[in-house]
Amino acid sequence: MAIDVEMPALSPTMEKGTLAKWLVAVGDEVKSGDVIAEIETDKATMELEAVDEGRIASLLFAEGTDDVPVGTAIATMAEQGEDIVAAPAPETRQPAAAEALLETQRSAAPAAPEPAPAPVADPIPATDGRANGKAYNATPLARRIASMKGLALGSLKGSGSRGKIVKADLGLPSLLSPPQTAAAQITEPRLPLVYDPPPGVPVESVKLSTMRKTIARRLGESKRTVPHFYLTVRCNLDPLLTLRRELNASLAARGVKLSVNDFMIKALAGALAEVPDANVQFGGDMLHRFSRSDIAMAVAIDGGLVTPVIRDAASLSLSAIAEQSQALAAKAREGKLVPGDYEGGTASISNLGMFGIDEMFPVINPPQALILGIGAGIEQPWKVYGELALATILSATASFDHRAIDGAVAARFMAAFKLLVESPLLIMG
């Protein structure tokens, strides 16, 4: 019996993905755990592992097919010993065709019985969907969600093909069929107009990647729906640069090199700890106040921008922040980030100083309420120890969500940040 290989949900919010690359061909033998394809999400390119054993019978979508809905069969496998029929070359389908195919697959499939409620029992710890080194018979999506939610797959009975545990067996609402609520009936905000390029002008039109489309959508929504306001401070960077040189000389034997951005991350986290009313998130009729500072740092990559997160940055040493930021930036540029690397974050930082930018006004990264933009250190006249002298001055501008943070709170936060930058020994404390 043919086994469907479905487009997985590689994060709890993923609804569609791009089939970036096939790593198998029709007729190839695969085992459970073999990597068979690369799937592009809005954050990274991730590997798709086979769940079952068998031979690839057909590839239903060509490499580069965009917006394939989660749950759509993208390939089929034949069981061991089963003959496969020669299949035509995979087809590059348009998004609408992919949606139609998914509906066809749903209607053709027999209705699955309602899963019986799981018996109430003490939960068995489950962190990766395995027990005693053996993987449970579960879909990749079910394993990911069980890992995130701390659910025990060993106590569940699968309702999928060959007894496989699927998402419905976890007792969670379907990603493909979200429950209808009053909020779901609210009319979507009208999208901005898109204009054709002016006639007669040489132009090259390039199709947007999944990442670029997501950036456009999220930041467009941010500017339309979040009331931004901005505060700027200018900091004397010379004491920090002196301390950085001394620390790097002592850390060279360990292969650690501190960047100015590492100090900025530490100062941002320290200022949030000093002014906790700025470490918040707007939640409709609630205000979420965080007790730790998880800093999302903007990393430029080919085709876009990602924001891996340094967790509890206020409690980390500068060398630990440097090691984590370098490792996360490398993973981002290689497209190897996993959801745990970039999900969450209580505030963001974007540093364009290395590009020589004097000052920037960044766009808030929803649902966060604060993002700090860092400019270049520029040598200019400054009052130093009561006298006019040349100093390296850095401009830092923060964008605040005015629904969650008032001007006075924002001003205290900026003052705390400036103090930490100009008195860098306080950062070490």
Residues known to be catalytic: 402
What CA–CA distance (Å, rounded) separates 53 from 162? 12
What CA–CA distance (Å, rounded) separates 246 from 240? 10
What CA–CA distance (Å, rounded) separates 324 from 247? 17
Of 104, 103, 3, 10, the C-alpha closest to 53 is 3
User: How far from 123 is each of 118, 136, 148, 154, 210, CA to CA, in Å?
Assistant: 11, 16, 14, 10, 38
What CA–CA distance (Å, rounded) separates 84 from 26? 9
What CA–CA distance (Å, rounded) separates 77 from 1? 9
Of 25, 175, 36, the C-alpha closest to 102 is 175
57 has which bridge partners?
none
**348 close to 371: Cβ distance less than 8 angstroms:** yes
Of 211, 158, 162, the C-alpha closest to 53 is 162
DSSP assignment, residue 233? E
What CA–CA distance (Å, rounded) separates 427 from 419? 10
**282 close to 333: Cβ distance less than 8 angstroms:** no
Angle at 322 between CA 271 and CA 293, to 5 degrees: 30
**393 close to 219: Cβ distance less than 8 angstroms:** no
What CA–CA distance (Å, rounded) separates 39 from 210? 11
DSSP three-state, residue 364: coil
Length, in residues, of the chain: 429
What CA–CA distance (Å, rounded) separates 401 from 230? 9
